[in-house]
Amino acid sequence: MKRVLRLRRRAEPPALIRTPRPSLTYRLISYLLVFPVFRLLFRGRTAGNANVPMEGALVVVANHGSHIDPPLLGHALGRPVAFMAKAELFRVPLLGAIIRACGAYPVARGASDREAIRTATDRLEEGWATGVFIDGTRQRDGRVNAPMPGAALLAARAGVPLLPVAIINSHRALGPDQAGVRLVPVHIRIGTPIPPPASRRRPDLDAATRACQEQINALLDQGLIGRPRLGPASQAGVLPPTPADHGP
């Protein structure tokens, strides 16, 4: 009687999640629009680009002082950064196609925090760098004042690192209370990655959130790139003025 040998197929390793590549629309917007605005009008400079992981999912955590922050981050980091955007914007002709090509994803007005977290987690599972403004809204002084644990929760859920980034002077260029743009220098300092929280428990999330806040504010305290270190602000939560702040 012949023995029938059954060959077992070796399990295939899970497919590696590749980082989404910039679309043609994204590259055109980045180099034809964002580049001249950031590098020429705002005399933009970046520091710490070697700290940016160019492959794999990543939670980019930044301070927030202006509506110009999202496109500047994606350009400065050298890889697309996905941000939440109101769902209504995606229905605007041309604008919807542009922001979608740049990695933005829609969140319905009035959506719960849980739904927003789930949507952002989906982007991380696709390999995106996902941007989170840690205060949740624009700050008049441009600093991190009341950080929320959403970024840390995202990192814990997806098991990906957090990358603190400081956007210097954008709150002076086009802050919450400004009617027009001021052409002051806007610089971006990129910090060092922080490992994901050990768990989703609140103490672990708070520790990671605090580490992001401290690193971003320390980067802000260094001031504009190429200028002397500013040191801590004389008043809590206030970024000291710079000589270049006397622009138009």
Output DSSP code: residue 45: E
For residues 221 and 166, give the distance between their C-alpha atoms in angstroms, rounded to a whole number.
Answer: 10
Residue pair 103/74 in contact by the 8 Å Cβ criterion: yes
The pTM of this model reads 0.80
Half-sphere exposure of 235 (CA within 13 A, CB side): 5
Domains of the chain: 24-233 (3.40.1130.10)
DSSP for 9-24, written as a single string: PPPPPPPP-PPPPPPH
Query: Would you write out the chain's pLDDT as a tens digit for each of its 248 residues?
Result: 444 444 333 333 333 456 777 778 888 888 888 899 999 999 999 999 999 999 899 999 999 999 889 888 888 998 889 887 777 778 878 777 777 777 777 777 655 567 778 888 988 988 899 999 999 889 999 999 999 999 999 999 999 999 999 999 999 999 988 888 999 999 999 999 999 999 999 999 999 999 999 999 999 999 999 875 544 443 333 343 343 444 43
Torsion angle of the four alpha carbons 68, 174, 242, 142, in this order, in degrees rounded to the nearest 10? -70
| Tokens representing residue 180 in the block | 């027009």
Query: For strand 84-86 and strand 45-47, is the pairing parallel, antiparallel, or unpaired?
Result: unpaired
Residue pair 192/131 in contact by the 8 Å Cβ criterion: no
Q: Phi, psi at residue 102, to the nearest 5°?
A: -85, 5
| Tokens representing residue 225 in the block | 């790139």
For residues 138 and 161, give the distance between their C-alpha atoms in angstroms, rounded to a whole number.
Answer: 24
- Report which secondary-structure segment, H or E, holds 126: none
Q: What per-residue string of b and e applies to 102-141 under the rule 16 or more CB within 10 Å gives b?
A: bbbbbbeeeeeeeebeebbbebbeebbbbbbbbbeebbeb
